[in-house]
Amino acid sequence: MAVPLLTTDDEGESRPTSLLIPEGWRATQVYGAVDKALALPAGTTKKSLAKANLKLPNDAEGNPEGYLFPATYPLGENPTPEKLLTAMVDTANKKFTGAPVAAGAQRNALNVYQAVTIASIVQAEAAAKEDMGKVARVIFNRLERGMPLQMDSTINYALGRSTLKTSTKDTKIDSPYNSYQRMGLPPTPIANPGDEAMTAAINPTPGDWLYFVTVKPGDTRFTADYAEHRRNVDEFNRLQQSASKQAGAGAAK
């Protein structure tokens, strides 16, 4: 889906007046959008992190992933990468350090940074907002059972890509974000979650689900039964192969 990054003023001037950060964007996408909005050379915003003095939790170790809160930010007069990044992190802190989130995290035996990490996975994995609470429950159920999360979104993050196709080879990469090989949560969030994903992370839907797959748009299936999950995955793979063949036939015409 195309997302308009910039808006213009009432006189139709081409100067951007605000910057929209969509839910689920990674930090690298945010940096690129700031560079573009401010007409700066690529890489400028990322380099500015060292002098931005962002108020991040200690667990973040200076990495703002997860704390560049998705919203629309006015550029104002004399905008700089430091000002925009500070506004995003300050917004995240207001959202995440309030009583509801702090209490919700504690209720689930998490600190806030871990809750943000779960919310980022939920944001990346849920095909629809109404599925977010269930996806969060799958994460909690797997953590409680000592199962690896096995989330394709963490593999995509490690590889710097976004795809529905994860191969067996992909699941063997050497990365702390490989949730097929590593137990527990990844070391940082994998995206910047919005309000709904954060709510799901601290108030997961009750259920015993351990598996889920979006077989087709609008049809995400959750189950606690591995055999049933395999059938759902097989159906997903058949539909993907069929769509690929149809696309190939169309291109050949």
217 CB-side CA count, 13 A: 1
- CA 29, chain centre distance (Å): 11
Q: What is the pLDDT of residues 16-37, one digit of tens each?
A: 889 999 999 999 999 999 999 9
What pLDDT, on the 0 to 100 scale, is given for residue 1? Answer: 38
Q: What is the pLDDT of residues 34-48, one digit of tens each?
A: 999 999 999 999 999
* Domain positions in the chain: 18-77, 97-223
> Residues 198-217: pLDDT tens digits?
999 999 999 999 999 999 88
Q: What is the dihedral of CA 158, 162, 165, 166, to 10 degrees?
A: 10
Are 142 and 212 in contact, with CB atoms under 8 Å apart? no
In this prediction, residues 72-100 reach a mean pLDDT of 93
**pTM here?**
0.90
The pLDDT of residue 97 is 86
